[in-house]
């Protein structure tokens, strides 16, 4: 099998697997005061310190969660609730239409349940959010509760100018969150230097276990809890902490440390594979187009492992079926919307018509990807395109 769906989930890195195995028999609740509990707490706090050091944060800014969706929900709902309660005039939530559904659906929930007003900053044709566009959307910012713009798009791979966007928000005293699930471990991420107030990361996108993640939140960030119970994690995220999961995520050379420590070399390697795939697909003479920004040899504007292609006149389901039958795992977009037949909301926001969006394919490479994987895709793609176009024509 040639696995090119790392943006959906990526295999465990060896260090994370070893860390997980060594703690499988761990007993003790990290909140308990007995010896077993204290041992579990040491594991959790070491993980907190290691994540903070790797990502330019203070340990107290690391709030452990079950993953990206929970962290996004806490960031959106928790910030809005805290800000709106303190200043009722702050009802606007500013984001973009190309966000992950963990953001978009959280914003929708706040508009339906809490009187929020959603404002969507329009992206450029390559999916970038310009600082000037954000400035226009904010106005004087007096009625804005928060801003949320993702670091790197999970479908088309476009990277946003986060530091510039955060500077716009900071000047107006507006907290800014970024879903950095696709960025952490794949491009340089420094929480302090970014100017952000909140940042989401998750383990299974960078070689850690599913079910482990974190929200980085500045110490002065106002957050209302969305889970109530024991008051763990700064009293904003109650629940018994998964010491095994956070250990594999961070401690003892776990997933975050492994990804960050080898980032430069891995970026260079994966970018070369990405560019070979994109160039090879364009050279097939099938009319294939690249979605989003792409500067060959660079990760300044596109995630290193993302190759989002649009095949003219093709049916994405037929494409995926033929590729899967040939042993190639990829996707048409976010795995969180798999099985949904309507066009991708990201491509719609980029004003790409339904006909062009129908043949969208996302190949995403990661730490196990090789040139053989890319060669396999390019070898089978002409047949997959021909068969999918025939299927669409027959329909």
Domains, the chain, with CATH or none:
2-9+263-394 (3.90.1150.10), 14-259 (3.40.640.10)
CB atoms near residue 296 (< 10 Å): 11
- Considering only CA atoms, which of 380, 280, 281, 386 is closest in space to residue 326? 380
Q: Where is 385: in which H helix or E strand? A: helix 371-394
Helix (H) / strand (E) element for 119: namely strand 117-121
pLDDT at 343: 76
Q: Residue 49 and residue 40: Cα distance in Å, rounded?
A: 15
Q: What is the pLDDT of residue 198?
A: 98
For the record, the structure tokens of 327 come out as 């042993």
Torsion of CA 35, 39, 44, 48, to 10 degrees: 110
330 an active-site residue? no
Query: What are the φ/ψ torsions at residue 111 (nearest 5 degrees)?
Result: -70, -35
**With left for phi above 0 and alpha for psi between -120 and 50, is residue 297 left, alpha or beta?**
left
* pLDDT value of position 341: 60
Write down the pLDDT at residue 391: 78
Alpha-carbon distance of 338 to 11, in angstroms, equals 20
pLDDT score for 334: 60
Q: Taking a C-beta distance cutoff of 8 angstroms, is the pair 67, 204 a contact? A: yes
Please tell me what DSSP assigns to residue 13.
P
What local confidence, expressed as pLDDT, does residue 251 receive? 66
pLDDT at residue number 337: 53
Residue of 336, 349, 380, 391 with catalytic role = 336
DSSP secondary structure string for all residues of 200-259: EEEGGGTTS-TT-EEEEE-TT-----SS-SS-TTTTTS-S---HHHHHHHTTTT-HHHHH
pLDDT of residue 322: 95
pLDDT at 254: 76
Q: Using 50 as the pLDDT threshold, list the residues of the chain that sit under it.
A: none
């Amino acid at each position: 099998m040639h696995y090119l769906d790392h943006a959906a989930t990526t295999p465990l890195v060896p260090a994370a697997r070893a860390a997980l195995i060594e703690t499988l028999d761990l007993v003790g609740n990290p909140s308990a005061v007995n010896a077993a509990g204290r041992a579990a707490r040491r594991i959790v706090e070491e993980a907190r310190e290691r994540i903070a050091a790797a990502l330019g944060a203070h340990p107290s800014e690391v709030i452990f969660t079950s993953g990206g969706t929970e962290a996004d929900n806490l960031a959106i709902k928790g910030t809005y609730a805290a800000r709106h309660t303190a200043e009722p005039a702050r009802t606007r939530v500013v984001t973009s239409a190309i966000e992950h559904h963990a953001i978009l659906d959280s914003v929708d929930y706040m508009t339906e349940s809490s009187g929020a007003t959603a404002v969507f900053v329009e992206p450029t044709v390559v999916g970038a959010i310009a600082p000037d566009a954000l400035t226009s959307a904010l106005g004087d910012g007096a009625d804005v509760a928060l801003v949320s713009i993702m670091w790197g798009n999970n479908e088309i791979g476009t990277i946003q100018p986060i530091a510039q966007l955060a500077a716009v928000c900071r000047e107006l005293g507006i907290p800014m969150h970024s879903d950095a699930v696709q960025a952490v471990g794949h491009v340089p991420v420094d929480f302090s230097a970014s100017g952000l107030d909140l940042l989401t990361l998750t383990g299974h996108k960078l070689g850690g276990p599913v079910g482990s993640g974190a929200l980085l939140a500045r110490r002065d960030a106002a957050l209302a809890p969305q889970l109530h119970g024991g008051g763990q994690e700064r009293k904003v995220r109650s629940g018994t902490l998964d010491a095994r999961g956070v250990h594999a995520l961070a401690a003892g050379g776990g997933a975050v440390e492994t990804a960050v420590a080898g980032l430069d070399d891995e970026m260079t390697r994966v970018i070369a594979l990405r560019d070979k795939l994109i160039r090879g697909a364009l050279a097939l003479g099938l009319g294939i187009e690249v979605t989003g920004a792409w500067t060959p040899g660079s990760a300044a504007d596109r995630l290193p492992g993302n190759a989002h292609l649009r095949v003219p006149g093709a049916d994405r389901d037929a494409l995926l079926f033929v590729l899967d039958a040939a042993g190639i795992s990829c996707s048409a977009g976010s795995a969180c919307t798999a099985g949904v037949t309507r066009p991708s909301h990201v491509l719609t926001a980029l004003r790409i018509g339904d006909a062009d969006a129908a043949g969208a394919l996302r190949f995403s490479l990661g730490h196990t990807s090789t040139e053989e994987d890319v060669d396999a895709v390019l070898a089978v793609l002409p047949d997959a395109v021909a068969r999918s176009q025939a299927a669409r024509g027959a329909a």
